[in-house]
Chains A and B, each alone.
Chain A
Amino acid sequence: MSEPRERSGIVAERFAVLNRVARAAADRVFGAGFVLLVLASLVFASLRLLPGDPTSLVLGEQAPESERALLRARLGLDAPLSTQYVKFVAGLATLDLGDSLSRPGVPAFAEVGRALGPTSALAAVAVALGAVGGIAVALLATGPWLARRREWVHRAILAVAATPLVAVAPAVTFLVAVKYRIVPLPGDPESGALGLLFASALLATPLGAQVARIARAALLDQRHAKYLEVARAKGASEFRVFVVHALPVASGPIAVVVASQLGALLGGAVVLERLFERPGLGTLMLNAYASRDIPVLEAAVVAAGGLFILAQAGAAAATAIVDPRGQTT
């Protein structure tokens, strides 16, 4: 008698859960789009609303008025602001912000697309290296292999995490790549995989320290859990206990850190790209900034911001999948 009612209750509950998940997802997409629009509008506004003539930024103070008028017309700066903004947003939606100023005929977003490859390679290899290295160090810092010396590993992790990459990377490059030539300079087009590996390893060091900190804390939480005792009692080796049993349970926070690192890196590998004079998104933005290539600058900032937000959403999704308890929205 009560069974059908109970079942319908369960179905309703499921629908409620689905509804909540869908609403949270919609919320997130809406939020991401909103943030991206704010960032894009900031670029738009700072070029047009703040004092200073953008054409004199491009052409120099002494440029004749006729040339300025020409450039203004080309960039659409002579139209009313509202028209410009509508055009700008439409351009964002269709990925068409006009052609590059310094390389006429090449669409701004095509430039961005070309720069994306090297930066993605650098960021992906660095994050992968950092994740693997960080987890390995965290295992050393929690497992039984080093006994008392585990504390040393922990201190080393904290020290590396506190060391600023921008200060250390040039010095390490000087020693390893210039003075003793153990690895090729990553800026050299012929440096190939080894150069990429070296640049990524530099970038991966602080990332790895961060992963190691989080992973160590997560593994310490598990260390005295009952299920590990059971595994030990069944005769599993310590390696098996930690890697096969404890690590997957501790993987939630680790996944979140790694995903958020990827996002920050896609927009922020600038220092290393500048150091090695490697092509990439950071180099493109700096060059566009230096030469006031407004369409490319707009496109690159928006693209980098979009990638960042995408990776953030990925991190949030990873959290939700690994640990559904944390849903607050």
Chain B
Amino acid sequence: MIDAARRSLRPRRRAVLAVVPVAVVLVGALIVATFGHRSPTRLTLELSWAPPSAARPLGSGEAGVDLLGLVSHATVRALVLAMAVATVGFAVGTPLGIVAALRGGALERWTLRASDLVQSFPTFLLALAVLSAVRAPSRFHIGVVFSIGAWAPFARMALVQARAISGAAFVEAARALGAAEGRVVFGHVLPNVLGPVAVQIGTAAAGVVLGETALGFVGLGPPDGVSLGALLEQGTFGMLRAPHVLLTGSLAVIVVSGSLQLASEGVRAWATREG
């Protein structure tokens, strides 16, 4: 019994460890962005493309912007946007999936189909279609674009999970004992669906970070230029003069999206083992 307890503890510790990198990235970026006195937009022309120095550990980019300030602010904003979009997706998709699974029939079929389509649709096309109406897309507009499709993976996951659980013996037992439908849904189905679906938040957030980066890279980012994609674009533009900008951008994107993926993998391993 002690053995079993120890074994069940291990994945949990592993899950906690897996969340550490993304927490470190977020807290570190927050600290630098808040207390570093490094504006991500102040330009010092004489320092254009300057290599790393003691005052600016990551060097300077286009028109002398401080890269450490740019990276920290862009990272915080990317993570906040990603979590916001993932939360919206979770909040919209989960109830939709559960309702579709319990109702069944045409609603279930159409939900599955729509989520398939939305999930595979290139975000870039959607972004162009929506953003073409505004002169300069703000971070809010970009969040809206991603939110349009964010519900799909959550709906699909919740649907599959709810379908499996609503056929389980303990739910049938509850129904047989005369539990009201509301009690069955909120007391039995919902608690068992939420865990595995919530795990999806990390994956969705990592996807948003990469999507936002790609949009920023091709010039569809926020106009102030504070985004990981804009940083990568700067680095590509100045790769001959200042390779350190490109290196900083590439590493920042890999670290942010990688730490999110790591966290969601760790939590998934833990959640699926318990469930």
Cα A293 to Cα B137 in complex, Å, equals: 17
Residues from 236 to 259 in B contacting A, C-beta threshold 8 Å: 236, 239-240, 243, 246-247, 249-251, 253-254, 257-258
**Beta-carbon contact of B249 and A285 below 8 Å:** no
Q: Is the pair A304, B125 in contact by a Cβ cutoff of 8 Å?
A: yes
The answer to whether B133 and A308 have CB atoms under 8 Å apart is no
**Is A81 interfacial (CB-CB < 8 Å)?**
no
Q: Is the interface of B mostly helix, strand, loop or mixed?
A: helix
Contact of A170 among B125, B131, B133, B235 (CB under 8 A): B235
Cβ of B24 within 8 Å of any chain A Cβ, yes or no, is no
**B89: shortest Cβ distance to chain A, in Å?**
19
Query: With A162-B258, A167-B250, A286-B219 as given contacts, are A35 and B243 in contact (CB-CB < 8 Å)?
Result: no
Give Cα A70–Cα B49 distance, bound, in whole angstroms: 45
In the complex, the chain A residue whose C-beta lies closest to that of B261 is: A162
Please pick, from B122, B217, B218, B239, the residue contacting A267 in the complex, using a CB distance under 8 A: B122
CB <8 Å contact, B128 and A167: no
Of B133, B214, B220, the contact of A166 (CB 8 Å cutoff): B214
Is A110 engaged at the interface, CB distance under 8 Å to the other chain?
no
Beta-carbon nearest neighbor of A167 in chain B: B253
| B124 A170 Cβ-Cβ under 8 A | no
Query: Does A98 reach chain B (CB closer than 8 Å)?
Result: no
Cα distance A275–B253 in the bound complex, in angstroms: 16
CB under 8 Å from chain A, chain B span 63-117: 113, 117
Instruction: Give the residues in chain A near B247, CB-CB below 8 Å.
Output: 171
Range class of the A interface residue count = 35 or more
User: Is A178 touching B239 in the complex (CB atoms < 8 A)?
Assistant: yes
A52/B125 in contact, CB under 8 A: no
* In the complex, A37 has a CB within 8 A of chain B: no
* Interface residues on chain B, size class: 35 or more
Binds B, one of A39-47, A89-97, A240-248: A39-47
Instruction: Name the distance in Å between B117's Cβ and chain A's nearest Cβ.
Output: 6
- Shortest CB–CB separation between residue A219 and chain B, in angstroms? 23
Expressed in whole angstroms, the Cα–Cα distance for A170 and B261 within the complex equals 22
Would you call A46 and B246 a contact (CB within 8 A)?
no
Enumerate A265-313 residues with CB–CB distance to B below 8 Å: 267-268, 270-271, 274-275, 282, 285-286, 289-290, 292, 294, 297, 301, 304-305, 308, 312
Task: State whether A46 and B236 are in contact (beta carbons under 8 Å apart), knowing that A39-B125, A166-B217, A167-B254 are contacts in the complex.
Answer: no
**B134 / chain A contacts, CB cutoff of 8 Å:** 50, 52
Interface assignment of B272: CB less than 8 Å from any CB of chain A: no
Which of A163, A260, A289 has a CB less than 8 Å from the CB of B120? A260
Residues of B with Cβ closer than 8 Å to A?
113, 117, 120-122, 124-126, 128-135, 210, 213-214, 217-220, 229, 232, 235-236, 239-240, 243, 246-247, 249-251, 253-254, 257-258, 261
Top 6 A-B pairs, shortest CB-CB distance = A167-B253, A46-B133, A50-B133, A267-B122, A268-B122, A170-B236
15 contacts between A and B (CB under 8 A): A35-B117, A42-B130, A43-B128, A43-B132, A52-B134, A57-B135, A164-B254, A168-B254, A275-B236, A285-B128, A289-B128, A292-B132, A297-B128, A308-B121, A312-B117
Known: A166-B214, A286-B218. 15 other contacts (CB 8 A): A39-B129, A163-B254, A164-B254, A166-B253, A167-B249, A170-B232, A173-B239, A174-B243, A270-B124, A270-B214, A289-B128, A289-B132, A301-B125, A308-B122, A312-B117
